[in-house]
Each structure stands twice: as C-alpha cells, then as structure tokens.
Amino acid sequence: MTLETLALDSFTPRLHETFAVSTAESALEFVLVEAQPLGQSLSRQAFSLIFAGPLKPILPQAIYRLENPAIGALELFLVPLGPKNGACHYEAVFT
C-alpha cells in the first residue's frame, strides 16, 4: 500500500493492533487506539489515527517508519499528543 491509496477503511480493521516503530535509538511498539474521519478534503476522506506508545521515550514530531503485518511498512508523520491512560499518544493525519 502507498500513502495515496490508504483510507480510513485501511486502518479500522487494525484497531488495537501493534505497529512496530523504528528510531535510530530503539525499536518501540505502538498500538492503534483510534481511527476517526475528519471530513472531506479535495481528493479523499480526511482521517486521523491515534497511536498509544510507551511513556518514555517521548518521540518528537517527525516521520517514523511503522510496520504492521497486515498493512506493511509506512512512513508516517507523527505528532506527540502527550500522556493519556498510562501511554504517550501520537497522531497521524491524512488529508
């Protein structure tokens, strides 16, 4: 799959699944905890994904490689939202 072909429906079956996140310093596991529509953009349905990761380290906003067995590897821009329910949450927005 490519970023252009991904849709909200690509992720809703993956809710509560693990995504491996690779950084230069470590390998982390994030869980997809939310997939929500945001409205219509010019070319497709915009949507938001929320991932829950470990409280430490908190990753700065940047592009990270995420891997999931069903979706494969993706390069996503993640923005840290901060701690919630014992995890650090991150958001990726697709427009």
Strands (DSSP E) contained in 23-70 are 27-40, 45-53, 62-68
What are the angstrom distances between the C-alpha of 35 and each of 12, 25, 92?
A: 6, 28, 10
This model's pTM is above 0.75 = yes
Task: Give domain 8-94's CATH architecture.
Answer: Beta Barrel (2.40)
Give the Cα separation of 36 and 57 in Å (integer). Answer: 26
Give the pair of three-digit tokens for residue 21: 């996140």
Q: How many residues does the chain have?
A: 95
Q: Could you state, in order of their start, the residue ranges of all structural domains in the chain?
A: 8-94
Give the Cα separation of 52 and 89 in Å (integer). Answer: 5
- pLDDT tens digit sequence for 36-69: 999 776 677 899 999 999 999 999 999 999 999 9
Q: What is the mean pLDDT of residues 70-82?
A: 94
